[in-house]
């Protein structure tokens, strides 16, 4: 689905799918954070109610054991047969003829609970007083450490050591479209078809295969149009297991569409954690060593396929990534608690690491008497540092971090803002300026799975690209179509893109971690280049080339442009694109393709996994006016300059940058999922969980630098998360700068800012 089609309202989302023959499912969700389920009874007086419990599922499906490096495994049940593990955990499901009847039946189901002690904080989880999973006596879902003790000497001999503990709140992505599932089972073919709003159709099929105990080929997963995901839809959910299982049991088609309360209660959350970060500097402000300890609240479960280490591991492995240093000592732990599971969300892990690093640099600059921009200039990687490998093992191929900072400072008129700051203070209001520089890990290669691309030219000249990725509004069709068209020398209009159907598309990892242009685009470029060379060889035969038709020769002697394949030295001599296509399919009477030289047909499938991650880079400058009496602040200026390598589609890149920045404003200033001590979610509606509107998002100035990647064949780097991971840190720096106070916790609520202002004024 192209951008223009979506704008015209031609998209087809889960709720739009034809469902005249469907029955509807509603879930009974636990009102307790932790409780034993003693009995589940149908509504009083109701007849012939299809009521399903965890015991029903456990009798015929396999629990899933999520596995990943550093992860402690246990049995995951889509509906636990004995206990509810968080408020919103599904404990029963009912089936009815309409969604309204299903909801009424779910409300009337009678359940007897025995409340159990709940673990509702990191401190309680680490205290081990209550164990959530029998296999995990210490509540640790994930543990990782690297270079233990390596920084001790450097810290002991440093001229300046700065160490603080930073806290990041629990948040959720709030996509415009909530989740949904439509499941059918064909008893004749013994085959499932599952439509679901997902980013990872092939991963999801793999998980369903394991838990339902059927071969992957017996499951077809189809992703319709997706109305936003931002990482939230990149995991296997209980509802995606229960509906196909129920469809097989009941013999009919079933549908469920999540409401907003369910979305906030029981989808996935993210980001909640603490990071104790220390940095050792010499007397000139040069960073020598760092040590970091991250602890994450993973909620009740490790999500499939990524596991519970996602946030804390990504936090520490990328610590001070953009800055020169020699030693890094890191460790990360994820704890199970009685909250909704934590999963992926835009900026995973790096929202906390960038916040902590950029705040710590400002604090160190104050200690050393340096301008915040200057301490970054002294420590940012320089162009002659590349290629570069960090002490945590991240490999960077190319970059120009100093230049992105210079461009952002110039565009924002940083010197002018500082001059104004010295003279513009008025009663009750202060101007603050914040700076941040960081890199973004993209095209993540940590998890198993290749990316697959198939490019096909039909006999009539129609060109199709079948991709293992799954768009959720990023503009994949525009970018993929352009890449294929460029390689094949045709107009973009001739190319159709197909995604999100496991029967039609090659297997692959899916869409997450800013990997579309980097990994999927790389694989697509490979497939398109293979197909291009085949076209050139067919054309060479039609033009009566003699001798060996090597790849190098046809690339050197022929060109493709404007629908023709011509001699490079004589553009007037050539053959039409469509004639070459017909010859490749033996559909022309005056040319016989010698298949011993070139095989008939025009279809290429490629699979690839990049040898390393690819890192983009961003610099941000913000200016804010803070009302020290009310705690309210307004963003006066917000400038982002990013380097995502070669820009494949400027409109898409700008949209991702601005959209990510809007999310970053929400993450930094408004959004917090709050639980009480008993594990009750206090922010279960959009009246309480606040997201930014057009009123809170100022004009965002976006600039670009293009430092091509040497890893990807299209020279691109990812960039979809930079605004989300960087804006909270830069706004925190700006507010701290205005108040002369330390900010170590988000969000920047008016209450928190007013408290900081009072504390600063009393110093």
How far is 604 from 532, CA to CA, in rounded Å? 10
Give me the torsion for CA of 167, 171, 173, 179, rounded to 10°.
150
For 273-445+611-757, which CATH class? alpha beta
Q: What are the angstrom distances between the C-alpha of 310 and each of 229, 336, 518, 744?
A: 17, 13, 20, 22
Using 50, 70 and 90 to split pLDDT, how confident is the model at 1? confident
CB atoms within 10 A of CB 176: 10
Q: Is residue 762's pLDDT more than 50?
A: no
Least confident of 118-132, 142-156, 323-337: 118-132
Secondary structure (3-state) at 642: strand
Instruction: Supply the pLDDT for residue 759.
Output: 81
pLDDT tens figures, 702-723: 999 999 999 999 999 999 999 9
Fold identical between 273-445+611-757 and 451-608? yes
Three-class DSSP labels, 551-600: HHHHHHHEEEECCEEEECCCCCCEEEHHHHHHHHCCCCCCCCCCCCCCCC
Q: What are the angstrom distances between the C-alpha of 556 and each of 490, 513, 564?
A: 19, 37, 16
**Both tokens assigned to 179:** 């989740």
Please, are residues 477 and 648 in contact by the beta-carbon 8 Å criterion? no
Instruction: Supply the pLDDT for residue 505.
Output: 97
Secondary structure (3-state) at 257: strand
Instruction: Supply the pLDDT for residue 595.
Output: 87
Instruction: Supply the pLDDT for residue 426.
Output: 66
Burial 522-542 (b: 16+ CB within 10 A, else e): bbbbbbbbbbbbbbbbbbbbb
For 451-608, which CATH class? alpha beta
Please, are residues 102 and 55 in contact by the beta-carbon 8 Å criterion? no
How far is 443 from 441, CA to CA, in rounded Å? 7
Please, are residues 170 and 271 in contact by the beta-carbon 8 Å criterion? yes
Please, are residues 34 and 300 in contact by the beta-carbon 8 Å criterion? no
**Both tokens assigned to 319:** 């610590």
Single out the residue of 297, 290, 328 nearest to residue 312, CA to CA.
297
Single out the residue of 169, 185, 340 nearest to residue 252, CA to CA.
185
Instruction: Supply the pLDDT for residue 3.
Output: 78
Q: Is residue 378's pLDDT more than 80?
A: yes
pLDDT tens figures, 198-230: 999 999 999 999 999 999 999 999 999 999 999
CATH number of 3-116+179-257: 3.90.1170.50
pLDDT tens figures, 253-309: 999 999 999 999 999 999 999 999 999 999 999 999 999 999 999 999 999 999 999
Q: Looking at residues 64-88, what average pLDDT do you find?
A: 95
How far is 215 from 217, CA to CA, in rounded Å? 5
How far is 232 from 724, CA to CA, in rounded Å? 14
Instruction: Supply the pLDDT for residue 760.
Output: 63
Q: Looking at residues 224-242, what average pLDDT do you find?
A: 97
How far is 741 from 289, CA to CA, in rounded Å? 25
pLDDT tens figures, 433-456: 999 999 999 988 777 778 999 999
Q: Is residue 427's pLDDT more than 70?
A: no
DSSP string of 442-453, one letter each residue: ES--SSS--EEE
pTM for the whole structure? 0.96
Spatial strand order in the sheet of 219-222? 50-53, 90-96, 22-29, 253-257, 180-186, 191-196, 219-222
Domain residues of the chain, as ranges? 3-116+179-257, 273-445+611-757, 451-608
Q: At what angle do helices 414-423 and 401-411 cross, to 10 degrees?
A: 50
Q: Looking at residues 655-669, what average pLDDT do you find?
A: 96
Least confident of 235-239, 412-416, 423-427, 502-506: 423-427
Percentage of the residues of the chain whose pLDDT score is greater than 90 = 91
End-to-end alpha carbon distance in the chain: 58
Instruction: Supply the pLDDT for residue 763.
Output: 39
pLDDT tens figures, 522-548: 999 999 999 999 999 999 999 999 999
**CA dihedral over 258, 443, 661, 303, signed as positive or negative:** positive
Percentage of the residues of the chain whose pLDDT score is greater than 70 = 99
How far is 324 from 293, CA to CA, in rounded Å? 20
Three-class DSSP labels, 482-513: HHHHHHHCCCHHHEEEEECECCCCCCCCCCCC
CA atoms within 13 A on the CB side of 220: 14
């Amino acid at each position: 689905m192209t951008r223009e089609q979506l704008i015209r309202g031609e998209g087809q989302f889960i709720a739009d799918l034809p469902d005249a023959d469907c029955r509807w499912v509603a879930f009974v969700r636990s009102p307790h954070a932790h409780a034993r389920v003693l009995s589940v009874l149908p509504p009083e007086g109701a007849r012939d109610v299809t009521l399903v419990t965890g015991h029903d599922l456990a009798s015929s499906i396999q629990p899933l054991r999520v596995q990943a490096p550093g992860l402690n495994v246990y049995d995951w049940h889509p509906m636990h047969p004995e206990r509810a593990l968080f408020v919103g955990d599904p404990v029963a499901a009912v089936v009815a003829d309409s969604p309204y009847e299903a909801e009424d039946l779910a409300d009337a189901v009678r359940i007897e609970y025995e409340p159990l002690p709940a673990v509702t904080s990191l401190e309680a989880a680490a205290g081990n007083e209550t164990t959530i999973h029998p296999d995990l006596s210490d509540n640790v879902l994930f543990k990782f450490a690297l270079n233990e003790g390596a920084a001790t000497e450097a810290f002991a001999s440093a001229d300046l050591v700065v160490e603080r503990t930073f806290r990041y709140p629990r948040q959720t992505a709030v996509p415009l479209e909530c989740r949904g599932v439509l499941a059918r089972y064909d008893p004749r073919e013994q085959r499932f078809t599952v439509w679901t709003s997902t980013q990872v159709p092939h991963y999801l099929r793999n998980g369903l295969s394991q838990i339902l105990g059927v071969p992957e080929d017996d499951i077809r997963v189809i992703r319709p149009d997706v109305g936003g995901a931002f990482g939230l839809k990149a995991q296997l959910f209980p509802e995606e297991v229960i509906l196909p299982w129920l469809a097989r049991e009941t013999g009919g088609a079933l549908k469920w569409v999540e409401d907003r309360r369910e979305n906030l209660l029981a989808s996935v959350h993210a980001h909640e954690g603490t990071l104790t970060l220390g940095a050792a500097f010499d007397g000139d402000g040069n960073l020598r060593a760092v040590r970091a300890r991250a602890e994450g609240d993973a909620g009740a479960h490790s999500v499939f396929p990524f596991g519970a280490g996602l946030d804390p591991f990504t936090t520490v492995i990328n610590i001070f990534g953009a800055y020169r240093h020699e030693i890094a000592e890191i460790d990360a732990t994820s704890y199970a608690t009685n909250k909704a599971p934590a999963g992926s969300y835009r900026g995973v892990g790096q929202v906390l690491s960038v916040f902590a690093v950029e705040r710590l640099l400002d604090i160190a600059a104050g200690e050393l008497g340096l301008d915040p921009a200057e301490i970054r200039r002294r420590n940012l990687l320089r162009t002659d540092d590349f290629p570069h490998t960090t002490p945590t093992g991240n490999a960077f191929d190319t970059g120009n971090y100093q230049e992105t900072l210079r461009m952002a400072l110039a565009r924002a008129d940083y010197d002018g803002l500082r001059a104004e700051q010295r003279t513009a203070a008025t009663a009750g209001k202060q101007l603050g300026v914040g700076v941040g520089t960081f890199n973004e890990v993209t095209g993540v290669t940590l998890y198993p799975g290749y990316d697959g691309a198939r490019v096909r030219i039909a006999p009539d000249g129609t060109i199709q690209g079948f991709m293992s990725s799954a768009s959720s509004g990023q503009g994949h069709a525009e970018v993929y179509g352009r890449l294929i068209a460029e390689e094949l020398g045709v107009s973009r209009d001739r190319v159709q893109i197909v995604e999100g159907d496991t029967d039609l598309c090659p297997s692959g990892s899916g869409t997450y971690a800013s990997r579309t242009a980097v990994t999927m685009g790389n694989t697509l470029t490979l497939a398109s280049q293979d197909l291009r060379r085949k076209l050139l060889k067919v054309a060479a035969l039609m033009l009566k080339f003699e001798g060996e038709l090597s790849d190098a020769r046809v690339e050197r002697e022929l060109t493709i442009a404007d629908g023709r394949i011509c001699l490079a030295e004589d553009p007037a001599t050539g053959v039409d694109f469509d004639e070459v296509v017909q010859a490749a399919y033996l559909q022309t009477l005056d040319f016989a393709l010698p298949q011993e030289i070139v095989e008939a047909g025009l279809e290429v499938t490629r699979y690839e996994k990049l040898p390393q991650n690819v890192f983009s880079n961003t610099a941000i400058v913000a200016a804010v006016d803070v009302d020290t009496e009310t705690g309210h602040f307004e963003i006066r200026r917000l400038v982002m300059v990013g380097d995502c390598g070669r820009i494949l589609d400027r409109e898409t890149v700008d949209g991702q940058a601005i959209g990510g920045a809007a999310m970053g404003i929400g993450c930094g200033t408004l959004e917090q999922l709050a639980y009480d001590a008993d594990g009750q979610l206090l922010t279960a509606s959009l009246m309480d969980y606040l997201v930014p509107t057009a009123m809170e998002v100022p004009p965002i100035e976006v600039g670009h630098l293009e430092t091509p990647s040497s890893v990807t064949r299209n020279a691109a780097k990812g960039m979809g998360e930079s605004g989300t991971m960087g804006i909270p840190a830069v706004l925190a720096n700006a507010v701290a700068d205005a108040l002369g106070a330390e900010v170590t916790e988000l969000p920047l609520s008016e209450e928190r800012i007013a408290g900081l202002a009072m504390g600063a004024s009393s110093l």
